[in-house]
Structure 1
Amino acid sequence: MKQLLALIITILFSTITFAQLTPFEQHADKNYTANYSEVITYYRQLANKYPQMKMMDIGLTDAGKPLTLIVLSRDKAFDPALIKKQNKRVLLINNGIHPGEPEGIDASMMLTRDLLKNNKLPKDVVLCFIAVYNIDGMLNRGVSRISQNGPVAYGFRGNARNLDLNRDFIKADSKNALAFMQILNTWQPEVFLDNHTSDGADYQYVMTLIETQKDKQNPILAKYTAKTLSPELYRRMKTSGYEMIPYVESEKGTPDSGIVAFIETPRFSTGYTVLHNIISYVTETHMLKPFDKRVYSTYYFMQHLIDVCERDHELIGKLKKQADDAVSNQKEFALNWVLDEKNYDTITFKGYEAGHKASDISSLPRLYYDRSKPWTKTIKYYDNYKATTKADKPIAYVIPQAWWKVIDLLKINKVAMSRLAHDTTLHLQMYSIADFKTSPRPYEGHYIHSNVTVIGNNADIKFHAGDYVVYTNQPINRYIVETLEPQGVDSFFAWNFFDSVLGQKEHYSDYVFEDIAAEYLKNNSEMRKRLDQEKASNPKLAASASMQLEWVYHNSPWFEKTYLRYPVGRLLTNIKLDLTK
């Protein structure tokens, strides 16, 4: 009887212990990533056991499932407003934006368990984990990243609408992005991490790191990131056996030619979060390294980031406040960037010898890396960018309420706005779209505009009661300016939000307008003189009756004033407006 009881106890203990293991850990070869059902079930078990953890369903994704947020709070405070009053920091960690890069999903499950089980939750940092961001892609499970070394099965990069969610943070075409914005703007993290897996060149490191590019980060935060936080993370990861290097984008194909710092524009997660003055990182484990090493390196990085945030929680809070104040008063904003190829740093890099050999498929030369020939070299690191386009902020932007998607996105990003109490004619600066280029093929569902040039003209414009006024005295100014200035690389104009202004709506019947135009020129000698000058300088115009008629129409009082006019006005003088909320 005693032996039977001991056996039952042993089996029960083994079952409980096994149940605490994640699906990744339960597989002996550690080459398995949890599926969506396993992830949610595992977190529910932890939440039922530990009161310091809470699961929250936020919004919906395009797959029809809610975005699950895991919140860990040592003193069981789960109210974001209370947490801010307690002067605690918030660290937000995102997983599975690309479900074929699942290391963060499994590592976060392990880390959550260990922090709870070992009573190791930080005192002054509340942890928020998005369990799986791209649930849609995770449900589409199979093997699609053919160049990757495991796991045996994983999710697909695109979501239910075949969107790459790491290109969706400004345009927010997906419900996933709207739910993410709700999380970010509710919890207002000071630090953000997005876990990924990289492809590209082969080298000796398991993990590379993207930190917000120093020239486009707020200088107050950039100094702390570059001088304190990042060096400490690099040091601690090396101590843990996972030495890191900056993310590898090669200047000329292979790392020994030099690598280029990644520039995250606002379409990317960390490019979006930096508009909120959030210190941001992307981990990129290497696709060719064994899956278990990729998971454990992600685990260690998150643990080290938590520890440093706990150590520096007071300083991080002060710097965030200083950055918010600085941005509220900032006058000029960069909208586009270009790599400064003349100025670079050097770093020590551990790679593998690259070469070319005949392809078994084409018999033509193909690239390969020889792991039997590792090397350590000093290489160039291009980590300097220059702003190519800048804009001075206006006193305020005035946005007609007709552009409701823009208004909705500003609202969800906590942009303070007021509304005109009645119809009002305002004297302000309006842009005319002078030129732009449009991609010939769709990119993430859009024919994105680039190389936008504008002409600013002062004009009296009638706005209606209920139109929106956005003053640029806010900590969220970078989001406001970089989305509303059409020259911005990821502006709302670039993403086609305002494309209807690019189409002419009215025209004329030529045989009728001939007589009207002739009478107009007869009574307007200055316009006749201008037409004659244009004909003299443009033989093509001089030889075309239809072009001359069109020229008169475009320069007449009857031509539609809204054609190519960007509808968002720039208020340049601080006049008193009759406003309502």
Structure 2
Amino acid sequence: MKYGYLLLLFLFITMNTSAQQTPYELSGKKETATYEEAIKHYKTLSATYPQAKLLSYGSTDFGRPLHVLVLSKDKTFDPLVIRKANKRVLLINNGIHPGEPEGIDASMMLARDLLKSDRLSKDVVICIIPVYNIDGSFNRTGTSRANQNGPVAYGFRGNSKNYDLNRDFIKTDSRNSRTFQEIFNTWQPEVFVDTHTSNGADYQYVMTLIPTQKDKLNPILSNYMTGTMIPSLYDQMKKSGYEMIPYVNSVEETPDAGITGFLESPRYSTGYTTLHNTIGFMPETHMLKDYDKRVDATYKLLQIYIDVVVRDAKVIGENKRKADEETARQQKFALEWKLNDKISDELEFKGYAAKYKPSEVSGLDRLYYDKNAPYTKLIKQWNKFEPSVIVDKPVAYIIPKAWDKVIGLLKLNNVKVLELQKDALIEAESYYIADYKTMSKPFEGHYLHSAVKLNPVKQKLQFYEGDYLVYVNQPVNRYIVETLEPQAMDSFFNWNFFDGILGMKEHFSAYVFEDTAAELLKKTPGLREKLEEAKAKNPELRENADAQLEFVYKNSDYYEKTHLRYPVARLLTDTKLTLK
């Protein structure tokens, strides 16, 4: 009887241990978990360990919710309670590109190991999104990433709408993005990690790293990140056997001529988190290294992130508090950045010799990296970005209630918005769109604008009950300004939210308006002089009767006042208004 009991106990323990093994481990480290396998694994952990809880949020374009596994040593899973207790939150996001699945497998093992060994800290709560692009994870092949060395099969980069979700954090065309923003702004992590796999040159490193661009990050956070956090990551990864290098963003075809920093605008995950004063990282394993090494390197890096956040929990929290306070008081905001190509430093780089040989396809010279010719040498790194467009913040932005998607996204991002209680004529500054460029081909479903030029005009504008005011005195000021200022690289304007204002809704019949225009030139003071001055400056106008008629029309009261007028006005003085 005793022997039978011991046998059953042994079998139970063996089955339980096997149940917590991941598909990656069970496959001999050659396969990555499917979406269903990942969620099943986390459900098992949540049912087994009281320090783990699997939550679900919203939906995705695939119709499934986004899951978040929360690891909390004291079994507290309420983000409000966690923030009041002054704990840090580390958010790890996996599978935004499901063909880059190292983080999916590494996080499954890491969560299990942290729970089994009781290595959670009372000061840090860990949140893990198992698979972000659920849609793409179901589109599973072994060929869509032609240059990648394993695993056997994996998901696809695009989601079910064929969007690259790492370009969707501002425009929010996908439900995935909307739900992620709900998660992010509910948990408000101080540190964010988004796991990836790189393309590009060949070199000796398994892991490369893109941190939040240091010059764009709030200086308090940037000083800690560059002075303390990043050196710890590099030092500890080297000790773990995986020496790291910055992401290899080569100036030329090969890294020999040097690399540049990566400027992640808010369309990217870590660019988006920067708007919220969250330190973000995008670790990129190297596609040509064996899959088991890529997963192992990701596992070790994630563990090091946890160790560093635990070690520096107090200072990270204090830095975030100070950065939020500073951002709420900030007066000037950078909207565009450019690389300073005059400032560089030197970086020790371990690569392979780049050589050329005849192509078996074309017969012409082709590039290859000679693995038998490794080298270690100094290369240049350019990583100093400077603002190229800066704007002074207004007191507030005024947004007509018709632009409901804009209002919804602001609210989703913890922006406090107030409603006008009654109609009001308000003196404000309006932008008129003077010029802009538009892509000739769509990018991620949009004909993206850029190079926006503005004519600011102060005028009294009629607003109505239910229109919105957004005061620029909030910790999320950067999200407010960088989405609502049209010149910003990833502004709502550039992502085509306001394209309706770019077209005229009324015009004229020339043969009728000829007589009206003649009367206007006689009776409108200064209009004739204005036309003659324009003709003197522009010979083409002088020779074009239709263009002259258009000029008169656009300088008369017949021309619609809303054409090219950006609908979000800037309140420049602290005007007393009746607000709900």
The alignment's TM-score, normalised by the length of structure 2, stands at: 0.98
Please name the residue that 1:516 is paired with. 516
Is residue 475 of structure 2 the alignment partner of residue 475 of structure 1? Answer: yes
- The aligned residue for residue 108 of structure 2 is 109
Q: What are the residue-to-residue correspondences of 1:195-210 with 2, within 5 Å?
A: 195-210=195-210
Q: Secondary structure at the match of 2:242?
A: coil
Q: Report the 3-state secondary structure (helix = DSSP H, G, I; strand = E; otherwise coil) of the residue aligned with 1:276.
A: coil
Aligned equivalents of 2:73, 2:524: Cα separation in 1? 79
Cα distance, 1:37 vs structure 2: 1.1
Deviation at 1:8, TM superposition (A): 5.7
In 2, Cα distance between equivalents of 1:15 and 1:121:
25
Look up the match of 2:276: 276
* Per-residue deviation, 1:15: 2.7
Equivalent residue number for residue 551 of structure 1: 551
Q: Which whole-Å CA distance do the structure 1 matches of 2:108 and 2:504 have between them?
A: 55
Matches for 1:244-255 after TM superposition, within 5 Å: 244-255=244-255
Task: Map 1:28-177 onto structure 2 (within 5 A).
Answer: 28=28, 30-143=29-142, 144-177=144-177
Structure 2 equivalent of residue 193 of structure 1: 193
Offset of 1:11 from its aligned partner? 4.5
Number of the residue aligned with 2:345:
345
- Pair 532,2 (structure 1): closer, same or farther in 2 beyond 3 Å: closer
Supply the AA of the counterpart residue of 1:63: F
Cα offset for 1:523?
Answer: 1.7
d(CA) in 1 for partners of 2:185, 2:46:
24
Report the 3-state secondary structure (helix = DSSP H, G, I; strand = E; otherwise coil) of the residue aligned with 2:460. strand
Amino acid at match of 1:439: M
- Separation in 2, partners of 1:6, 1:420: 73
Matches within 5 A, 1:402-481: 402-481=402-481
CA positional deviation for 1:252: 1.3
Q: CA–CA distance in 2 between the matches of 1:260 and 1:175?
A: 33
CA contact (8 A) 1:273 1:280 kept: yes
Most deviating of 562-571 and 528-537: 528-537
SS in 2 for 1:500: helix
Deviations 1:168-205 (A, max 9, x none): 00001000000000001101111100000001000101
For residue 142 of structure 1, what is the amino acid of its counterpart?
T
Q: CA shift at 1:440, angstroms?
A: 0.5
Matched residue, 1:181: 181
User: For 1:230, what is the secondary structure of its paired residue?
Assistant: helix
Does the CA contact (< 8 Å) of 1:107 and 1:296 recur in 2?
Answer: yes
1:243-286 deviation line (CA, Å, top 9, x unaligned): 10111100112112111111110000000000000011111000
Q: 1:404 Cα shift? A: 0.6
Contact 1:52 1:76 in 2 (8 A): yes
Give how far 1:355 is off.
1.1
**Rounded Cα–Cα distance in structure 1 between residues aligned with 2:267 and 2:64:** 23
Which residue of structure 1 aligns with residue 540 of structure 2? Answer: 540
Residues 477 and 525 (structure 1), Cα distance of their counterparts in 2 relative to 1, 3 Å cut: closer
Q: Distance in 2 between matches of 1:273 and 1:550?
A: 46
- With normalisation by structure 1, the TM-score equals 0.98
Give the RMSD, CA atoms, in angstroms: 1.3
Aligned residue pairs, count? 579
| Equivalence map 1:306-455=2 (5 Å) | 306-455=306-455
2:302 is paired with a residue whose SS is helix
Q: Specify the SS of the correspondent of 1:579.
A: coil
Q: State the Cα distance separating 1:222 from its structure 2 match.
A: 0.2
> How much does 1:2 deviate?
8.3
For 1:158 and 1:334, the matched residues in 2 are separated by 31
Distance in 1 of aligned mates of 2:434 and 2:318: 43
Deviation (angstroms), 1:511: 1.7
Deviation, structure 1 residue 3? 7.9
1:544 CA drift (Å): 2.5
Question: Deviation of residue 536 (structure 1)?
Answer: 3.8
Structure 2 partner of 1:294: 294
Amino acid aligned to 1:65: R
Deviations 1:450-504 (A, max 9, x none): 1111111111111111111011110100000000000000000010001111001
Amino acid at match of 2:552: V
Q: Say which SS state the counterpart of residue 526 (structure 2) adopts.
A: helix
Q: Distance in 2 between matches of 1:535 and 1:47?
A: 75
Instruction: Indicate whether 1:229 and 2:224 are aligned.
Output: no
- Going from structure 1 to structure 2, the CA distance change for 1:54 and 1:7 (only over 3 Å counts) comes to closer
1:54, 1:23 → 2: CA distance? Answer: 21
Conservation of the 8 A alpha-carbon contact between 1:58 and 1:183: yes
Question: How far did 1:13 drift?
Answer: 3.9
Aligned identity (percent) is 58
Helix, strand or coil: the match of 2:113? helix
- Structure 2: 5+ residue stretches without partners: none
Q: Distance in 1 between matches of 2:412 and 2:8?
A: 54
Change (3 A) 1:438 1:2: same
Secondary structure at the aligned position of 2:366 is classed as: strand
Distance of 1:573 and 1:135 partners within structure 2? 47
C-alpha deviation, 1:112, in angstroms? 0.5
Q: Which amino acid aligns with 2:81?
A: L
Q: Which amino acid in structure 1 is aligned with residue 377 of structure 2?
A: K
Change (3 A) 1:422 1:4: closer
**CA–CA separation in structure 2 for the residues paired with 1:59 and 1:572:** 38
CA shift at 1:12, angstroms? Answer: 4.3
In structure 2, distance between residues paired with 1:10 and 1:86: 41
Q: 1:536, 1:38 → 2: CA distance?
A: 73
Asked if structure 2 preserves the Cα contact closer than 8 Å seen for 1:356 and 1:365, the reply is yes
Q: Deviation per CA, 1:520-540: give whole Å up to 9, x if none.
A: 212235212222333344333
